[in-house]
Structure 1
């Protein structure tokens, strides 16, 4: 594997070297061989694009060592411009035509007035020579001197840090190498700035040669009038000068911006290509500029668009690579953080024995560690206290601490909710996305990851955060990952609330009431019922989602019947009847009407005759085919009412209510079973259906 990677890297390096070598040889060929007009246009556009790229790259470079090849690039681009000047001069003097790019530059700048074009050309020349080139040369010279003077002190600082143990030997070698490269760069820049000055001087001389040579050749050899020749070659000369001087000016500005160059052990081609085309922003900006030039009247549209599209595609590919690398780095950091937390938990001094499991815990994959970051305003830790308060108010249940820990055995975006050490629910979150709920049968045009809402099993789609506003405008419900987890946690706790109520929790509830209602507590416990029997009754209530907030009524009822009744199932029925208003309230519609599904009298009688007691409670013992017919009848009515959005309950006689609930609990856990004694007389009742006779 390593050998394959090394071979690929060597082949890539060789390709870069060959490409750059061909480019340099091509420059020499342009000086010797004549170029067709179309190829010259392409080369001029390429020169302009290369100059803009170099300028933008120096603007976006964050470190001076990111563009270490700049002095060499300066020489190559200078030679490239001079080669183009020679090629354009050959065409001007031999054919009187230098291509569309030069002609368009001349007409765009000079128009019908050759003097205006000449003045603009001279202004660009003066700015480059006196302002930019002179200033950058001075900066390079001074920087080289200061760098050389500071070099001994910097080397001593590196040695001191190494001796004191602040840095490793590898760090010291790297810093020495960077210092050496920086010093070499300043020296190279001091000399490279002379290239720019020489290029500016050569360009003005070439311009004058084009003008005088063209007028003399075409007036003496081709019989063209001096005025006509002067007008024609004046425009061509100005266009050629502008095409040459504008890229030269951009390069001069870039040389003034970039003030460092670090020496490198790599070849020029190996260091140039990755550095020159390594910034996504540069490629996208270059793409936009080239496209604008392509649609400018007079310019060769196809050539500019070809270069622009190529740079845009390159920028897109670079951007995708950067995103992939960024995600990879984040995952690596999260894995390291999760590993450290796991090791920290292993090394903790707290002794944990097998029976000391957490009542409620959440385990998260390393990709979800950010959801427990307490430095953020919205995190799962801040929601835990809210959840505990909510259950205390709604169900009367006092929850213990909820522990959040990472688990490397889970998938990156996976979480697990555990009740007393047993996994009760699992789900998947995407921290960079939002969950859009999809109503049944509705089509969506959004792209995303199909999913199920974990708490209620609704169809959903994980969409990009940027699409949230559009989804909400389209009347879809969109929730963030934290809300998804909190909702799933609350629903899991609600379904398992009865198992969280132990004797210790019951004792805490009673102690909270003792100051004000000590009489009923002292009478009930332990003379009438034991604490464990009270716990069983409260668990039976929570199992059917009946709040135990009205503890006084519950305790009063148990005290009234506890002397004669010891069966906790029957005691639960008496308590339910005492809490009748609390029991029916969740199932009434907005008009305070209770929709009930009744059971055929023959079926009720059959169920009542076959009830048997067990440790799990009462349950009817019937033949398999009889139970199947019963379930089919309930299923038909239940699903019809659910499809119509009508809240409903199954209403039966008090005798069979516990047995009926135990029988259908597995197949229809959401269907509430109430007895006639649990419905207050003043509540309006509407018959919504009847379970057929199964006799």
Structure 2
């Protein structure tokens, strides 16, 4: 029998569960219909109230409704945990203000026509203020001043500042969401939810900035309406009904003051609600719980306050009993409160036990090759010690961001470590585990770059990036070196400048397959059609990586990935040869490439003699690793030397020359002259921007080689 009872119970439960969504759905439909029909109908009824006279019984109910509604809004404002939980408040504030003004019109009509506007107004005019017009006006003005001068102005200012700060913070919040999304901390749905919440927050504070003006305008309208009612009531009572001044005041003026008080009480409640909403911060509890918790946590402050109140009770002339009671109560409360728990100091995370030196984990860690590494000698460790003023790590972080924006790729993290094998005062830069550059930065010295430093004591050296003569000087000689026209830089600047140049020269080696995938996915978000058309239908990630590496190898930024991908899509339909893909991308980026070498809109160009260029085209061959020039060794040596000579002469004149040639010839010519002129850009004619003024600074020719 027990199993049968269990089955019956489960069947009943299933029936209840099946019915519950139906009831919930019906309730949701009713609430939705009530919101769709009830609120518009209520607004229309408010407009009708301004025109159609209301009976006094209905007016009493509406006045009570107005006070009740304002009280409920105040309580909701106190219990919400964050302002967005009451996002409908600005609209409710407008409707409540309109409703209150409509009631003022209805009361004014009844007071002026019949000298009676219901029991609520009569009670506020006679019982609340004791039947005194002066007392009523004073109370009315005090409430108005509290509402208008104190609460409304403060709430309006807070709403204005909140709206401004919220709008200013939107870009940063959006970037933070994108960063979390890119890091995989949140998914796309959560990112959309956060973005919509940020937009809703901005809309809310903007609406509150405007809604606060409703409260201020309502206070001004209350003064005007009450003044008109007082004057109109006295005029009607004395001139039309021939009442004495005392009777007119007792009949009309007190009712006008009662109307003002009836309207200002809910207005004050809504003003307080506005202040609570705009000053409410996000919290895990309602305002009452937060206030009690935060005040109770200040045990020492409560005890000092209680003692101060007891001291005040000793002042002659003051009543002793109230201060003694309150001071004693505060002091006793402070003594009874428990000491708030101190925040636990963050304990260092227990480090996992170090693996044995011969374990696979330890061996793998030792074998790992860092993409980018900076090794420092033992006496340069102070450059990375922030407690001793070391700025190298901060500069390296800033350098990574600068290079990322310049090259269009994510620069790997720079692993900085000390190396006891380095000579004192030196550093080394490694790319993929291979040392590619070395320099020196002796402690306690600064590098002065210039040619007139012979008379200054120091160690002569060559600046590692541009090969300029320099000298390591003591810091106190800096001013003297600058007076001689030298440029003086500190050790951290020397290292970061050298590191930046190494990264530029080795950017192609630092661009990994994972980096290409990341860049492709980021491009897909803004240009999905371009990426979907290119990969994987036409090119794989490896093919795209080779193209981007080829561009970076010649110092061509890859920031404009959408245009690069469009060019690759068009070229890949014809051929997937890497060299052709690179040249297609360069043709698209041509104006930007040439503009990078121009000075004030002028580009210095080394050209090739037409006969020489035709001969080079005839010697052009295509191999497994790209095109090359099948020149005689003597001709190749003469051509390279002539290009180097003309480029050096142009640089001595202050120019930054480029070598221009026909597009089919460019890759092979670049490979030929690169060994002797690694920094000389080789551009195709089509890459020369039409917006630049071209100036020929030399012409390369093989005619002299044959004449010799």
TM-score by length of 1: 0.49
Taking CA–CA contacts closer than 8 Å with sequence separation of 6 or more, which of the two structures ends up with the larger relative contact order? 1
